[in-house]
Structure 1
């Protein structure tokens, strides 16, 4: 296959993805990657010749994504998050824009609610995955002592690579939810988590790009999608300091349920449900 111009390559790829019911914005992501262009530069270069050396890999990746649903991030090996580039593969959840909103809220709450002249603050990310949350917290607030937990050694390997590559000092612990913290008697001021929160009964409703390629460990949490929250919240008293911030990413229909779980363990708390940029419930947080 050959293309005279970038426009021709872009048009062919867009039509191919449309025929396979895939999002067409993938085309520009791939073109920008291979041609090393910004979006504005790409749009300004559409009538330029399509370099022959990139045609085969471009066509192969478009066909692979269109026909199988393999995430474009897996084909490229990275995703952008909070202005940084994170390596990703089949062992970690691909960082999503909604999680950037969780990180932003946590950073804002930390700056409002803690005295930086007091003892250093310890933050933990439960279910670290690629390390997007824990690395970003450390890079945006270097004063934090950041730890991260994941049950998957394969995920931790990617998280460590991202932390090292981005120059973020994070302590990684392997284990299930809060167990490693309890075993080491680690107390924290800030607990953040984007845990699995999809019901196993909703598996077939997911797109194949998510269902077949994101790790099941990072997606599914029992019959109602709340098992991870139950496990974490039950053990919170064993790891939180007297004053603490808790923040969870949630499924868009889980706000009240997660709020009630927190109130069961901490009746005096005042959990808040926060909507994402699309107006869907996405975060539950509270101060103790």
Structure 2
């Protein structure tokens, strides 16, 4: 599109789709950005296709599309937010952008939580799991993260969404000092460093390495949590980890060797891939 002085919603969608495809980006990002800058979501956007964008809408939209297409910066970073479990969370380069797969871990914990229990989210990042669990269950929720910048984002999300979560800064279970935990949940870093070169640039160059990569073929975070949990006098009745789809057997074996009192099972996601390792204390 050469003349961009006036642009209808329909023309904006067509231009964005073409421009993004030329740069090998997903065309759906154009729709998501236009929904954000116009405030029109879903069917409402298409119902108003003939209307012109305002000058501010057009300028912001075009700039965002160009930035994403030309640099690979995730659209969530550009607009500063991302959806999770029907809510909008603030995100930044200091936290992992929430993935849809993690909603399946959220579903699993929500259906197994009991009123009055304590749930611990280890490596909370932006706080999507902790905040959502605080809002969706009747449990007390605590969360840890080693990154003060991530905890700042998590606390802001809890405040914005009215969730009561107790946040602790520190590595894995260390800040909880054997607090009595009934359910332990974690979506830790689990990508092997050797796989970094194969990741999409929007992930590799923009998500924090601290939240993505782990030593020992991506297993070191699970090893640390299992080792720390082994020393706890009172074990959580349920532990659930999100895993990489090739890690089911390895993470299960870690648990069985370090914590023989647990019954371990791998749960597949909606696409049929291993996604969650759950362990129930016998």
User: In which range does the TM-score fall when normalised by the shorter chain?
Assistant: over 0.9
Does 2:70 correspond to 1:70? no
Among 142, 146, 158, the residue aligned to 1:147: 142
Structure 1 unaligned segments of length 5 or more: list them: none
For the residues of structure 2 that align with 1:93 and 1:240, how far apart are their CA atoms? 32
Does 2:182 correspond to 1:189? yes
Check the 8 A contact 2:226/2:259 in 1, yes or no.
Answer: no
Does 2:37 correspond to 1:34? yes
**C-alpha deviation, 1:48, in angstroms:** 1.9
- Tell me the equivalent position of 1:237: 230
For the residues of structure 1 that align with 2:170 and 2:7, how far apart are their CA atoms? 53
For the residues of structure 2 that align with 1:136 and 1:92, how far apart are their CA atoms? 16
Among 238, 243, 255, the residue aligned to 1:250: 243
What secondary structure does 1:224 align onto?
helix
For the residues of structure 1 that align with 2:46 and 2:266, how far apart are their CA atoms? 40
Residues 132-170 of structure 1, C-alpha deviation per residue, up to 9 Å, x if partnerless?
0000111001x3111100000000000000011111111
Q: What TM-score, normalized by structure 2, do the two folds share? A: 0.95
Structure 2 unaligned segments of length 5 or more: list them: none
What secondary structure does 1:53 align onto?
helix
Q: What TM-score, normalized by structure 1, do the two folds share? A: 0.93
Flag the 1:149–1:200 CA change in 2: closer, same or farther, 3 A.
Answer: same
Flag the 1:53–1:207 CA change in 2: closer, same or farther, 3 A.
Answer: same
For the residues of structure 1 that align with 2:44 and 2:241, how far apart are their CA atoms? 38
Residues 163-196 of structure 1, C-alpha deviation per residue, up to 9 Å, x if partnerless?
11111111111111111123xx312111000000
Count of aligned positions = 278
What is the 5 A alignment of 1:103-182?
A: 103-111=106-114, 116=115, 120-141=116-137, 143-182=138-177
Check the 8 A contact 1:263/1:271 in 2, yes or no.
Answer: yes
What secondary structure does 1:270 align onto?
strand
RMSD of the TM alignment (CA)?
1.3
For the residues of structure 2 that align with 1:200 and 1:84, how far apart are their CA atoms? 32
